[in-house]
Amino acid sequence: MFSFVNPDHERRAKALIAESHPGLMLSLSHEVDPAFREYERTVVTAFDAYVKPVVDNYLARLEGGLGEAGVTAPLQVMQSRGGLTVAPIARERPVRLFLSGPAAGVIGGRIAGASAGADDLITIDVGGTSADIALISRRKPMLRPEGLVAGYPIRVAMVDVNTIGAGGGSIAHLDVSGGLRVGPQSAGSDPGPACYGLGGTEATVTDASVVLGYLDPGFFAGGKLLATAAGDNTTRIWDAAMSASCHQQTSVRGVRMPCLAPWRCREVSPSQHHLLVHHQGQEKTLPRQLLRPSG
């Protein structure tokens, strides 16, 4: 319970396990999360131990492959808080890699924004089933001291990335009270959005972007995917009432950034920030009027 103060028992347990099971990977709570509150410390230590064999094997093989290919530079890995670490440290403490992919996108967005003279950004990574949103203020990504994975608190510093179920394939629908909902159901890649003309019959975020004129069928995928299917089929499925409702709830009302605790909630007006989109050209699914501040 108080290993963060006196880790002698954990160290002794490690020594005994090493004697009986040499080579077994271990995670000690006083090394992973040396802080009080035993539940949170136990959770993050358990996650670290759970992913350690997989991460260790993967990075070891990656390092070996790079060496065989003649790459002499040390392998560095992105961490949850947006910094880099060398592979040996990443293999020792893999829990610090959680959500490092979205964090890397935010760091890249900060660099891109700075090169364009933009200090305040909202970055958005639009995938097929979800969108990751983060705030950059004065060229500094917002951080949080812990995150959530499958509902469990992971006490590791992370870039403050908030995920919503609104990717390009997320299906829009009206609930029993008539309110617009997007996701978590998704059309996936097969059959995909209705505008692909591959058999999709439900309205998605991509379909809304076509109907509202945000996505150019002649430009998307080189004009080969939407040009013959983005007309009557999409308009029939995504009617004018739903598209207007979508516009009202996204572009007009502004954005409330979700948070883990009430005292961290904040209103963010898109008009005061540049919107920087990354991830496989999905920027064409977003309103053009949000791409730069209006003030």
Instruction: Clarify whether residues 71 and 163 are in a common domain.
Output: no
Contact (Cβ atoms closer than 8 angstroms) between residue 26 and residue 14? yes
Domain boundary among 97, 131, 154: 97
Instruction: Clarify whether residues 106 and 210 are in a common domain.
Output: yes
Closest CA to 217 of 199, 233, 236: 233
pTM of the model: 0.70
Q: Which domain holds residue 45?
A: 8-97
**Residue 181 within any structural domain of the chain:** yes
Residue 192 is predicted with a pLDDT of: 83
Instruction: Clarify whether residues 21 and 109 are in a common domain.
Output: no
Instruction: Clarify whether residues 104 and 87 are in a common domain.
Output: no
Copy the structure tokens of residue 243.
Answer: 């598209």
Instruction: Clarify whether residues 156 and 263 are in a common domain.
Output: yes
Measured between alpha carbons, how far is 78 from 271 in angstroms, rounded to an integer?
31
**Residue 119 within any structural domain of the chain:** yes
Instruction: Clarify whether residues 162 and 284 are in a common domain.
Output: yes
Contact (Cβ atoms closer than 8 angstroms) between residue 121 and residue 113? yes
Residue 162 falls in which region: left (phi positive, over 0), alpha (psi -120 to 50) or beta:
beta
Instruction: Clarify whether residues 55 and 30 are in a common domain.
Output: yes
**Residue 133 within any structural domain of the chain:** yes
| Alpha helices (runs of H) in the chain, residue ranges in sequence order | 8-20, 29-32, 38-68, 87-92, 100-115, 205-211, 232-237, 240-247
**Residue 85 within any structural domain of the chain:** yes
Domain count of the fold of the chain: 2
Q: What is the pLDDT along the chain (295 residues), one digit of tens a residue?
A: 788 888 999 999 999 999 999 989 999 999 999 998 999 999 999 999 999 999 999 999 999 999 999 999 999 999 999 999 999 999 999 999 998 988 999 999 999 989 989 888 888 888 777 888 898 988 889 899 988 888 899 999 999 988 877 788 888 887 788 777 887 888 887 888 888 878 887 888 888 887 777 777 777 777 667 644 445 555 555 554 455 555 544 444 444 444 433 334 556 666 778 888 876 444 444 544 444 554 4
Instruction: Clarify whether residues 87 and 198 are in a common domain.
Output: no
Residue 61 is predicted with a pLDDT of: 96
Residue 224 is predicted with a pLDDT of: 67
Copy the structure tokens of residue 64.
Answer: 């070996």
Contact (Cβ atoms closer than 8 angstroms) between residue 100 and residue 79? yes
Measured between alpha carbons, how far is 182 from 165 in angstroms, rounded to an integer?
7
Copy the structure tokens of residue 193.
Answer: 């959005």
**3-class SS at 295?**
coil
Residue 281 is predicted with a pLDDT of: 43
Residues 6+ away with beta carbon under 8 Å from 38: 1
Instruction: Clarify whether residues 159 and 287 are in a common domain.
Output: yes
Instruction: Clarify whether residues 188 and 108 are in a common domain.
Output: yes
Residues 6+ away with beta carbon under 8 Å from 32: 41, 44, 45, 48, 93, 95
**Residue 249 within any structural domain of the chain:** yes
Copy the structure tokens of residue 104.
Answer: 């890397």
Domain boundary among 49, 76, 97: 97
